């Protein structure tokens, strides 16, 4: 649609311009075809990359029996004669079966993407977002195919005939965590002593593995240093209240590590407040705040569970927020939310939202008019395609979504586009029981931390390396 006279991005002349939906830049009628031609050239380049990748898959399928590891196994078999023939056969089978399984899996995903490319090319309806997605998918598929070469042989030399075994490469996206719980903060029952919590909700972990906890019903923010036996109150030590040095049911906390300030969703006081060197400043007032997040550009995001919206605020300019998700009343349509809680913002400023009363997680791309369901959304329940009152969310670098499925007492992992998730941590036995998991966080080693709300503690699940 032509706008009023605005400058063309290419020639910088004021004229009737047209907006490209992919890059949001404006072009005049003379230069919009040039922009489209550039996109066409980029698509052809991507198609060329996909064709080359397809050739690699076919070559590897044809040459699986010529794998260099097979040759080593054959040499070992000859040198060890009959005693190791059975072992050699087993190892060959592992190499071939593993290669076939991995390549078939990669090929299935590749064929699906290739069909998407052909459809885009046929319809001639694509933009930078589509191209970036396809480029990232090709990069990931190439990484998976390259990963096949990481298989190796491990030999044991204590006997006359060395034993061998096949060491398979680690697959992507298969992180797992030990199911036994480790209590890292509190765990001494409900209370207000320095070694106790009363309803811990949001948590934040810094690079030194110190944990910052929104101790909701004790109306305080607690810092729990690594391996400490008790915490230290860093905000709200004056108890419940609405004075500047008081808090009332803080639900979320983030640490702005650039200026060492503490930003708090002071829920019942309906404000977002910042503590810096024991000095307090109200950043946003008159807001039914619940979730907090900050992107890499320093913008602050706040969820409002009454207005059913998420707003973005520029640091230092808190007079007006921009609605980036919801804002169309309470509901379950793709442009609506129902009691949004925790939020997460990725590198591209896409906002992920725990849409609590809709029992789903929504993803809103930057400047989108509606969101997309990326977890749950199949009514409330405990099946693998359902959630029940989701709380904390984290999205990793591979786009995998981790959700604290609060009323199901489990932590789930969802891949965008999949119809169901998987349970990575659950409370199936008394020792590892979770009771209302709320906040989530990872440390730099990949260990998972959970605010175990009704057990009044912070627990850790160690990653299996």
How many helices (H) and strands (E) the chain has is answered by: 4, 30
Beta strands in 140-210 (DSSP E): 152-156, 163-167, 182-186, 200-205
β-bridge mates for residue 276, sequence order: 279
Residue among 299, 304, 282, 293 nearest 252 (CA):
293
Smallest Cα–Cα separation from 361: which of 405, 318, 317?
405
Q: What is the pLDDT of residues 156-202, one digit of tens each?
A: 665 656 777 777 665 555 689 998 899 999 999 999 999 999 999 99
Confidence of residue 41 (pLDDT cuts 50, 70, 90): confident
Residue 210: pLDDT over 70: yes
Tokens coding 379 = 């009514």
The secondary structure element, H or E, covering residue 421 is: none
User: What distance lies between CA 180 and its chain's CA centroid?
Assistant: 23
pLDDT tens per residue, range 430-461: 545 899 999 999 999 999 999 999 999 999 99
CATH superfamily of 182-461: TolB, C-terminal domain (2.120.10.30)
| pLDDT bucket at 17, cuts 50 / 70 / 90 | confident
Residues β-bridged to residue 232:
223
State the pLDDT confidence band at 155, using cuts at 50, 70 and 90: confident
Give residue for tokens 């969703």: 265
As a whole number of angstroms, the distance between CA 416 and CA 363 comes to 9
3-state secondary structure of 129: helix
List phi, psi (to 5°) of 261.
Answer: -100, 160
pLDDT of 44 higher than 70: yes
Q: Are 252 and 214 in contact (CB under 8 A)?
A: yes
Q: Residue 169 pairs with which residues in a beta bridge?
A: none
Number of Cα atoms under 13 Å in the Cβ half of residue 165: 5
pLDDT in tens, 226-279: 999 999 999 998 889 999 999 999 999 999 877 789 999 999 999 999 998 889
Q: What pTM did the predictor assign?
A: 0.65
The C-alpha atoms of residue 360 and residue 378 are separated, in whole angstroms, by 8
Tokens for 432? 């590892």
Non-local CB neighbours of 360 within 8 Å, separated by 6+ positions: 373, 375, 376, 377, 387, 390
Share of the chain above pLDDT 90, in %: 51
> In the chain, where does the domain assigned CATH 2.120.10.30 lie?
182-461
State the angle between helix axes of 85-123 and 128-147 in degrees (0 to 180), rounded to the nearest 10: 170
Q: From its phi and psi, is residue 134 left (phi > 0), alpha (psi between -120 and 50) or beta? A: alpha
Instruction: State the average pLDDT over residues 386-400.
Output: 93
How crowded is the C-beta side of 414, counted as CA atoms within 13 Å?
Answer: 30
Q: Is the pLDDT of residue 429 over 70?
A: no
Ordered DSSP codes for 155-173: EE-SSSSPEEEEEPPPPTT
Contact 309, 341 (CB under 8 A): no
Residue predicted with more confidence, 144 or 394: 394
């Amino acid at each position: 649609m032509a706008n009023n006279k605005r400058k063309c991005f290419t020639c910088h002349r004021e004229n009737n311009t047209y907006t490209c939906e992919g890059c949001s830049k404006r072009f005049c009628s003379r230069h919009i075809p040039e922009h489209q031609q550039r996109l066409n050239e980029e698509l052809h380049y991507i198609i060329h990359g996909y064709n080359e990748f397809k050739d690699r898959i076919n070559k590897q399928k044809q040459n699986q029996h010529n794998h260099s590891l097979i040759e080593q196994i054959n040499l070992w078999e000859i040198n060890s004669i009959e005693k190791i023939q059975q072992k050699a056969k087993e190892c060959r089978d592992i190499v071939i079966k593993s290669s076939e399984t991995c390549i078939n899996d990669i090929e299935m995903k590749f064929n699906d993407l290739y069909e998407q490319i052909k459809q885009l090319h046929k319809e001639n309806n694509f933009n930078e977002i589509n191209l970036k997605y396809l480029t990232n998918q090709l990069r990931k598929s190439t990484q998976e195919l390259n990963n096949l070469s990481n298989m190796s042989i491990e030999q044991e030399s204590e006997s006359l005939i060395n034993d061998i075994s096949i060491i398979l490469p680690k697959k992507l996206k298969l992180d797992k965590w030990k199911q036994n719980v480790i209590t890292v903060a509190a765990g001494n029952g409900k209370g207000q002593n320095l070694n106790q919590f009363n309803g811990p909700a949001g948590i934040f972990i810094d690079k030194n593995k110190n944990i910052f906890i929104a101790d909701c019903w004790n109306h305080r923010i607690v810092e729990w240093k690594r391996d400490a036996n008790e915490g230290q109150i860093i905000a709200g030590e004056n108890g419940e209240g609405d004075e500047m040095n008081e808090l009332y049911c803080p639900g979320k906390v983030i640490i702005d590590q650039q200026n060492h300030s503490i930003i708090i969703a002071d829920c019942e006081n309906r404000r977002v407040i910042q503590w810096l060197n024991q000095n307090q400043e109200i950043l946003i007032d008159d807001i039914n705040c619940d979730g907090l997040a900050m992107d890499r550009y320093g913008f602050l995001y706040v969820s409002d569970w009454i207005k059913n919206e998420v707003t973005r605020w520029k640091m230092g300019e808190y007079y007006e927020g921009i609605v980036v998700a919801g804002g169309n009343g309470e509901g379950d349509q793709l442009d609506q939310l129902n009691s949004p809680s925790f939020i997460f913002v990725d590198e591209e400023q896409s906002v992920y939202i725990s849409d609590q009363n809709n029992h789903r997680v929504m993803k809103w791309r930057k400047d989108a008019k509606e969101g997309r369901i990326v977890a749950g959304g199949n009514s409330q329940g405990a099946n693998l395609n359902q959630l029940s009152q989701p709380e904390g969310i984290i999205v990793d670098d591979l786009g995998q979504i981790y959700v604290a499925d609060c009323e199901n007492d489990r932590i789930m992992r969802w891949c965008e586009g999949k119809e169901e998730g998987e349970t990575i941590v659950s409370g199936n036995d008394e020792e590892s029981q979770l009771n209302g998991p709320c906040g989530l966080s990872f440390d730099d080693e990949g260990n998972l931390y959970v605010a175990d709300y009704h057990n009044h503690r912070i627990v850790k699940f160690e990653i299996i390396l």
